[in-house]
Amino acid sequence: MSNNDIMKKLRVALKFTDDDIIEVLSLVDFKITKSELSAIFRKEDHPNYKPCGDQFLRNFLNGLIIYKRGPRPDTRSKT
């Protein structure tokens, strides 16, 4: 299963729109345009298809954690 397939399945399972995905990615300071995002969801034989890299998927999953749970609390002691 490719990263593109994983992203497609996550988008459907979470009922996310392109705007939702862009919002999740912005939580980890990862910028992407709607046209770049749509290239990831195209079929492999489409001329504008773009493979989803590991970095993109990793950033999306890290952003999804923040989106669902909230930001990580600062556990360092302040002295």
**Residue 54 domain boundaries:** 3-69
- Express as a percent the part of the chain with pLDDT over 70: 92
pLDDT tens across 15-39, in order?
999 999 999 999 999 999 999 999 9
- Number of domains present in the structure of the chain: 1
Q: Would 77 be classed as within a structural domain? A: no
Give CA separation, 18 vs 48, 52, 58, 73, 75, in Å. 17, 15, 17, 28, 33
pLDDT for the residue numbered 70: 82
Dig out the tokens for 39 from the structure. 């290239």
Q: Would 12 be classed as within a structural domain? A: yes
pLDDT for the residue numbered 54: 96
